[in-house]
Structure 1
């Protein structure tokens, strides 16, 4: 109840900020400013944040293209520098993500995601070798829940093409994603720098404080009836118990590492040289490794491919994890964790297709149904509820 009262207060505060911004249309000029949108960015502000470590460097012009809106507002930015900036090799192809609308701020702020990408790109990304965009600047305002992240535009710099969630993925591609996860997890295995991040229990509690996620998952099951296995259809209460149990295990019963948090196949891309990478780090948190592994494999693979590949993918992951500095569990223990940890992936997509009118439409129904079919079939094949004892 206290959290709900806090969130109600935030509704009033954030709503007031959004209204004032629409009226005054403030421009960002100094390093301490947080642009409300791409339209608030100025060359002066870009100079402050991008040229801060290069004497005499200055942004002389910029342009924005390819704007879109979802859980955040996004745009590509092309930057031109003076001679000092050009000679220093400062980045010219950027991608900006802002929280512009009221719904975006309440979703990301209320869900404790408002600072996720800032933390990842500014503090954590430089410490790990994996295929992911580089980060150049990130900050947020705790009162208005304005936020911005400037990152590498991998479409321009690496020829990246984002993976279409409804298309099948090749084995070599899912293997590359699994290796990326293992390097991420191994690098931050029980690392003190991740202790202040939220954990899966925190994340679930934050979502539930603002949205009836359990109820929306039940609605989602009805809307996705055609793709839910008969053995699971109608068992919304039991599935939710499984979600809560799996999330608690990932929080309290597994070695803690840095998690992407939301590594579904639609968050991935392939570069021009064939490397697979992860984008969209808003949900970054600390928890048990299998949360990410199960989510990636079971959302990315068609059921027949996953049945053929998942044991060998797990072996590949464990080998790479050990090389990257993690303490790999035995295969049997890892297989049990994998079986248990697809529950949140199921809830995320049942809740998305089961959205209420007050929730933003984050994905198409086609994408929701494709991923729910893959994930729910994996839950059925692996008897995930039985593995969790619910």
Structure 2
């Protein structure tokens, strides 16, 4: 209850800031300022954050090229520099992600992942060789939970197309993606640089503080009951208990496996394909530290149709393990990897169960079709992998 009281108090503070910003948006001139939205940036602020390492460079002008809203507000920008900026090759095609609204701030701030992209793009991104956007600036205002990230617009720079999560991966696509995860996890395996990030257990506790995900996931099961494997129907409480156990295992592995940097929200809808055919990962807001299989199980179980997952699983785990070892991580035995993967089958399901099981006062974070497709895939994985046995629930 204390957590809920604290969150209610924070909600009042954030709401007051949102109201004040509507009346008088904050001025944004220096890198210390956090704009309300990409639509509220100025050439002076863009100069401060994009030209900070190039003496004499300035942003001459910029135009807004469009945008969208979801868990964050996204705004495309085309930036024009003076001669010094052009000669330095500073980025001209960028987009911003901002927590412009109250619901966005409470969703990301309440789960305590609002600083994820700041951690990734302002330090950790440079330590991993993966296909992911470059980030140029990220900042959070802790009082109002305003946040903004300035990123490479990969649709322009790489001809990237974003994959619909309902389509399902080809084998080549998912192999490429799990190899990306190996190259993400390996260099930061047990690294002190990730020690301040939240663990999966803390993430679930923070989420539950403002969203009763046991109840919401049970509602989600009812709303998708026609897609559920019959043995799982009526097992909402057991699924919740297994999810909690899985998050504990991801935080403190019983075999002493070190934590590594996790994407944290590595579902099929966070992927893209470049014009050159490379597969990449985007949306780094949910950054965590924990067991490698948290990401791998989430990606495979949300992105692969059940028959494809069963046919490809051994090859996918082998591809991941080879990439992990090649990037400086440990060499994990195949039998140990399979057990750990099975233990992590629950969060991929629960995340989508409580998303479609939302209450009327909660924002609609994902389309119903996406939720139903990913619940069907992830529920099948729990059943077919005998995942309850793997966590002892």
Query: Are the counterparts in 1 of residues 74 and 96 from structure 2 also a CA contact under 8 Å?
Result: yes
Instruction: Determine if the alignment matches structure 1 residue 85 to structure 2 residue 85.
Output: yes
Tell me if structure 2 keeps the 8 A contact 1:27–1:42: no
Q: Could you say which residue in structure 2 is the equivalent of 1:225?
A: 225
Match of 1:274 among 248, 272, 277: 277
* CA displacement 1:170-207 (0-9 Å, x = unmatched): 10000000000000010111111000100001100110
CA-CA distance at 1:233 after TM superposition? 1.2
1:290 aligns with 2:289: no
Q: Distance in 1 between matches of 2:199 and 2:265?
A: 13
Deviations 1:290-316 (A, max 9, x none): 010111011111111111001111011
In the TM superposition, what are the counterparts of 1:303-342 in structure 2 within 5 Å? 303-342=306-345
Measured in 2, the distance between the counterparts of 1:224 and 1:30 equals: 49
CA deviation map 1:57-78 (0-9, x unaligned): 1101111122111100001111
Q: Which aligned pairs between 1:1-390 and structure 2 lie closer than 5 A? A: 1-253=1-253, 254-390=257-393
Name the SS of the counterpart of 2:123 in structure 1.
helix
SS in 1 for 2:230: coil
Give the paired residue count.
Answer: 390
Local SS of the residue matching 2:138? strand
Offset, 1:26: 2.7
Q: CA deviation at 1:24?
A: 0.8
**How far has the Cα of 1:95 moved from its partner?**
1.4
Root-mean-square deviation over aligned CA pairs: 0.8
Moved over 4 A (4+): none
Deviates more, 1:242-251 or 1:355-364: 355-364
- Report if the CA contact (8 A) 1:99-1:148 is conserved: yes
The answer on whether the counterparts of 1:31 and 1:48 sit within 8 Å (CA) in structure 2 is yes
Higher mean displacement: 311-320 or 243-252: 311-320
- Structure 1 residue 275 displacement after superposition: 0.3
CA distance in 2, matches of 1:251, 1:168: 29
Q: Is the 8 A contact 2:186 2:328 kept in 1?
A: yes
- 2-side partners of 1:156 and 1:7: how far apart? 39
CA distance in 1, matches of 2:113, 2:327: 27
Structure 1 unmatched ranges of 5 or more: none
Q: Do the aligned partners of 2:343 and 2:387 also contact (CA within 8 Å) in 1?
A: yes
TM-score by length of 1: 0.99
- Matches of 1:347 and 1:157, distance apart in 2: 35
Distance in 2 between residues matched to 1:80 and 1:361, nearest whole Å: 36
